[in-house]
Chain A
Amino acid sequence: MSGQVPEISLDAAVQPVEITPTRAGSQTGAPVRRRRRSKYRPVWEEEPTRLGASGKAVILTCVVLVVVFPLYTVLLTSVSTTAETTRAGGLVTVPGELTLNAYTQILSGGVVTRAVLVSVGITTVGTLLSIVVSVLAAYGLSRPGSFGHRPILFIFLITMFFGAGLIPTYLLVSSLGLIDSYWALILPGAVSAFNVLILRNFFMGIEPAVIDAARLDGAGDWRILAKIVMPMSRAAVAVVALFYGVGYWNAFFNAILYINDNAKWPLQLVLRSYVLQGVNLPSGGTSSVDVAHGAVTGLPLQMAVMVLAVVPILLVYPFVQRHFTKGVIFGAVKG
């Protein structure tokens, strides 16, 4: 077995990739089975066995389906008519009669509309605040040998290992008078030491000569940050902004803690109570429902709320996702 391997690799090395026989040719009974050769596979690597390759394909397809299929049914159900869900006995898996009424209903004023606005507002304001504060802190701590940067860094690090705890934080927020204030959903988590360190790590990786040159030309730290460091760090800032943004958008427990007034609920709480817990949307929630004119009720509405909760993430994800593979996260992990 082990003796064969080098032989195959030599063989493959001699034979140019382009003229390897096609799959059909290989099946006509040549003693050496040689199938389509991937142009990415190095010459020394043995061909995958048919069983191995198909097993891999099956597993990976299943993995992708397990992620994609639930999202597909939810999306499809949200654009189906109520009749369609009744016929299917629940979630719709095969496209039938389609309508966007669920969305027009929940977005034409009422509970869901308001919750979307609240969530969008909190996410926008919170992300802006977090990213500005974090970039400033990260740059302020990134210059080697600056005054006091070690003790200050320590202030950040400690918070990563020891949190204040739920009860004291709750009591603090309530004694600051922030109960039922949107600021309670923003300020307590506005700075994440982890994100500051990612940014700082990235800033420290910038070629010092570039910054020194700017300094020699008379630029101060504010100018250097705005004109040199920021333009060079778009990827890192984008990823950290995504982390913060997703955090604000997805948070639901802080709203349970700090927001008693239902009218101020963010979307995740509305999702929890109207979809997960199955509380009916109040009639005011779907402005003037007219079932006779094709208005939908029940499941499509619920699924539409779910889709609304995912849409912002799906919108931003493709632009930021490519930075995950190269850049920030890898840099952070590899150090």
Chain B
Amino acid sequence: MTLPAFVGRRRAPDPLHGGAAREAAPAVPVGKISWRTRVKADRSLLIMVVPAVTLLVVFAYVAMLGNVIAWENYSPYTGFVHSPFVAWANFARVFSNPLFLDAVRNTLSITAFQLVFFFPIPIFLALLLNSVMSPHIRTVIQSVVYLPHFFSWVLVVTLFQQMLGGAGLVSQTLRHHGYAGFDLMTNPHAFLVLITMQSVWKDAGWGIIIFLAALGTVSPELYEAAAVDGANRWRRIWHITLPALRPVILLLLILRLGDSLTVGFEQLILQRGAVGPGVSEVIDTYVYYQGVVNGDWGYSAAAGLLKGVVSLALVMGANKVAHLFGEAGVYQKA
């Protein structure tokens, strides 16, 4: 989630750097210098970019062309070129397949559930941490809660299994004291709660960073002035802190909505076996199983492409909404 937020902020100062330098520097307008001269002058810079661009062109752009199989009855043996063209048949199958629609429903319900039960937690924790006076204690707590962000999903899911699974620590303790144990890992009814707990455990600490950064920009004088004017702790939070967080909260919220169709792929694919595809199948896992596992290449590529295009539209729509709210948004026209 930090990713697009950063892009907007990053691109915003761009005209400042590039633009100012370009206007100030040359006595001869840029347009008058031939491009040959400019390439020659900047050849080291261009050479430096080559390796990264090559990797991106091969593994992002050439791969993007591979989406043509969404319109083909693709088979690895006949190849991209010779597989029969089937027009929109794959897309028609996607829309009429109840399993795909189930996957969409699961995806959206996970997004909605996490929006309500995950999203506010980093805000709350950031406010709490911000109110801790001692910088040492604050740093220690921050370092501890950021840490799980760097653990792999395999590790996180395994840890949860060891704690909350049928043979996990909690069940083990309950049984030891004569109660019945439980297995949260295989219970489809509790799956939404389980994966949200996992997401919170892994990433809430990381989310705090953004909110703490926003809180750090608030001038302490505002708080002092408010306190002197008789505003108590809660009123200072309500009238100073939350308004300062508003742009960040709004931005992240809009971004999350734009990213609705993407939910933790690795997290879900690890647990699909234990809990069953009924609740854990999301669009991404569906695409994987239909394509790589079942070999229905054209169909799964169509489903994946559909998701990609709708996601792009959602991000752009979300960005529009951000602009309407007067926020910087994810990206702007430079």
Contact assessment for B21 and A335 in the assembled complex, using a CB-CB cutoff below 8 Å? no
- B321 contacts partner chain A, Cβ-Cβ < 8 Å: no
Contact assessment for A38 and B209 in the assembled complex, using a CB-CB cutoff below 8 Å? no
Contact assessment for B270 and A272 in the assembled complex, using a CB-CB cutoff below 8 Å? yes
Contact assessment for A42 and B141 in the assembled complex, using a CB-CB cutoff below 8 Å? no
Partner of B45, one of A146, A172, A242, A250: A146
Contact assessment for A89 and B176 in the assembled complex, using a CB-CB cutoff below 8 Å? yes
Instruction: Give residues 32-47 of B contacting A (CB, 8 Å).
Output: 35, 38-39, 41-42, 44-47
Instruction: Give residues 126-166 of A contacting B (CB, 8 Å).
Output: 132-134, 136-137, 139-141, 143-150, 152, 155-166
Determine the distance from Cα of A303 to Cα of B223 in the docked complex, in whole angstroms: 49
Contact assessment for B76 and A63 in the assembled complex, using a CB-CB cutoff below 8 Å? no
Contact assessment for B292 and A167 in the assembled complex, using a CB-CB cutoff below 8 Å? yes
Contact assessment for B48 and A140 in the assembled complex, using a CB-CB cutoff below 8 Å? yes
Determine the distance from Cα of A177 to Cα of B136 in the docked complex, in whole angstroms: 52
Determine the distance from Cα of A144 to Cα of B14 in the docked complex, in whole angstroms: 9
- B55 contacts partner chain A, Cβ-Cβ < 8 Å: yes
Knowing A67-B201, A172-B66, A313-B150, the reply to whether A2 touches B2 (Cβ < 8 A) is no
Q: In whole Å, how far is A47's beta carbon from the nearest beta carbon of chain B?
A: 10
Find chain A residues with CB under 8 A from B132 CB.
56, 60
- A91 contacts partner chain B, Cβ-Cβ < 8 Å: yes
How does the 8 Å CB contact mask read for A177-196 relative to B, with 1 for contact and 0 for none?
00000000001111101101
Pick from B60, B223, B273, B304 the residue with the most CB of A within 10 Å.
B60
Contact assessment for A253 and B269 in the assembled complex, using a CB-CB cutoff below 8 Å? yes
Contact assessment for A253 and B308 in the assembled complex, using a CB-CB cutoff below 8 Å? no
Q: Which of B97-105, B109-117, B224-232 contacts the other chain? A: B224-232
Partner of B2, one of A38, A68, A159, A333: A333
Contact assessment for A46 and B233 in the assembled complex, using a CB-CB cutoff below 8 Å? yes
Q: In whole Å, how far is B313's beta carbon from the nearest beta carbon of chain A?
A: 11
Partner of B21, one of A64, A208, A250: A208
Find chain A residues with CB under 8 A from B59 CB.
164, 169, 172, 187-190
Complex: chain B residue closest to A189, CB-CB: B59
Determine the distance from Cα of A253 to Cα of B292 in the docked complex, in whole angstroms: 12
Instruction: Give residues 1-30 of B contacting A (CB, 8 Å).
Output: 2-10, 12-13, 17-18, 20-22, 25, 30
Determine the distance from Cα of A222 to Cα of B155 in the docked complex, in whole angstroms: 41
Q: In whole Å, how far is A286's beta carbon from the nearest beta carbon of chain B?
A: 19
Knowing A74-B162, A160-B4, the reply to whether A172 touches B22 (Cβ < 8 A) is no
Contact assessment for B7 and A160 in the assembled complex, using a CB-CB cutoff below 8 Å? yes
Contact assessment for B7 and A144 in the assembled complex, using a CB-CB cutoff below 8 Å? no
Determine the distance from Cα of A149 to Cα of B4 in the docked complex, in whole angstroms: 20
Determine the distance from Cα of A221 to Cα of B4 in the docked complex, in whole angstroms: 30
- A220 contacts partner chain B, Cβ-Cβ < 8 Å: yes
Contact assessment for A160 and B308 in the assembled complex, using a CB-CB cutoff below 8 Å? no
Find chain A residues with CB under 8 A from B52 CB.
133-134, 136-137, 156, 191, 196
Determine the distance from Cα of A1 to Cα of B232 in the docked complex, in whole angstroms: 8
Contact assessment for B147 and A317 in the assembled complex, using a CB-CB cutoff below 8 Å? yes
Interface SS, A side: helix
Contact count band on A = 35 or more
- A95 contacts partner chain B, Cβ-Cβ < 8 Å: no
* Pairs A–B under 8 Å by Cβ, sample size 15: A5-B230, A74-B159, A90-B167, A132-B51, A147-B35, A149-B45, A157-B7, A161-B312, A171-B297, A204-B17, A250-B151, A309-B154, A310-B151, A330-B213, A330-B216
Residues of B within 8 A of A (CB): 2-10, 12-13, 17-18, 20-22, 25, 30, 35, 38-39, 41-42, 44-49, 51-53, 55-67, 69, 76, 125, 128-129, 131-135, 139, 141-148, 150-155, 157-159, 161-163, 167-169, 172, 175-176, 201, 205, 209-210, 213-214, 216-217, 220, 223-224, 227-233, 265-266, 269-270, 273, 284, 287-288, 291-292, 297, 300-301, 304-305, 307-308, 312, 315, 331, 334
| Apart from the given pairs A164-B66, A198-B6, 17 other A-B contacts in the complex at a CB distance below 8 Å | A38-B133, A46-B233, A59-B128, A60-B128, A60-B129, A63-B125, A67-B147, A74-B162, A164-B60, A170-B291, A174-B76, A191-B55, A250-B155, A252-B266, A324-B209, A329-B213, A335-B10
Residues of A within 8 A of B (CB): 1-3, 5-6, 9, 38, 40-42, 44-46, 56, 59-60, 63-64, 66-68, 70-71, 73-74, 88-91, 93, 132-134, 136-137, 139-141, 143-150, 152, 155-172, 174, 187-191, 193-194, 196-198, 200-201, 204, 208, 220-222, 225, 242, 246, 249-253, 257, 268-269, 271-272, 275-277, 303, 306, 309-310, 313, 317-318, 321, 324-325, 329-330, 332-335
